[in-house]
Amino acid sequence: MHKKKIITYTTFNKRKEKWKKKLYKDKNIQKLSQKLFIEADKLHFHYLQTWKGETMIQTPDDILAFQEIIHKTRPEVIIEIGIAWGGSMLFYETLSRNSTIKKIIGVDLFIPNDLKKRINLKSNKSKKIFLIEGSSLDNKIISRIKKITKNYKNFFIHLDSNHTSEHVLKELMIYSKFLKSNNYIVVGDTVLADIPNQKHRPRKWSKKNNPMFALREFLKINKSFQIDKTINFRQLFSNQPSGYIRKK
């Protein structure tokens, strides 16, 4: 009986890289993915994922991508602009128990008291979490974030609040300044540039007024940043196509 040949770990990873690129470049798969995204969004697919029982308004593909970036870049500080129902904050707190994460900062215009209590309870009263209520563009809030993070160098930042081009561009100009080389900032919901205006969930943003437009404008004037499309290679469902950017 012939023994079955077992490939090495190195060979397997090389094959994975090829598979990812083929998946990303397959136009038929991309069309199917976009069509499914549009139809699933009508049924509020993005609101169905949870962490410790709290909603994460992210696709499973993006949640895994966040974890991979954090593992690779070893940030000391996570900043999430727009925490919504708080699941992501608890996700980052869980990761922090076996990583370099020291501070997790969430900013939102409104954070319900009951959500604050649940996050506090489910994170075992973690002293790493800071919930800041107010505008991400407010100088007082920016100053507070600088004070909290003054002793740290490596960051991971996710912009996921107001998705108008004007607002996102302002956030990019402010929060990109926190980043060091190889740090990532994720521009949330760049997918809005690729899907029809959402009649079931009316918002100010649209195909002509969205985070992707802001990102393109930002990259024109900030040559020290680049899109890392390799993050999207393995994704079928992402809120952030071409929205993962890295400081060179």
pLDDT tens per residue across span 18-40: 999 999 999 999 999 999 999 99
pLDDT at 46: 87
- Alpha-carbon gap, residue 245 to 182, rounded angstroms: 9
Question: Taking Cα atoms as reference points, which of 206, 202, 157, 204 lies closest to residue 178?
Answer: 157
CATH of domain 9-247: 3.40.50.150
- Please state the domain extents for the chain: 9-247
pLDDT at 1: 54
Tokens of 133: 């209520």
pLDDT at 232: 94
SS3 content of the chain, % helix, strand, coil (to 5): 45, 15, 40
- Alpha-carbon gap, residue 160 to 123, rounded angstroms: 22
pLDDT over threshold 70, residue 71: yes
Model confidence, pTM: 0.93
Give per-residue pLDDT as tens, 153-171: 999 999 999 999 999 999 9
Here the contacts of 191-195 (C-beta below 8 Å, separation 24 or greater) are 191/37, 191/238, 191/239, 191/240, 191/241, 192/163, 194/34, 194/241, 195/34, 195/37, 195/38, 195/41
Give per-residue pLDDT as tens, 83-136: 999 999 999 999 999 999 999 999 999 999 999 999 999 999 999 999 999 999
For range 61-77, the mean pLDDT? 97
pLDDT at 155: 98
pLDDT at 9: 93
Q: Which one-letter amino acid corresponds to residue 235?
A: Q
Q: What is the mean pLDDT of the chain?
A: 94
pLDDT at 127: 95
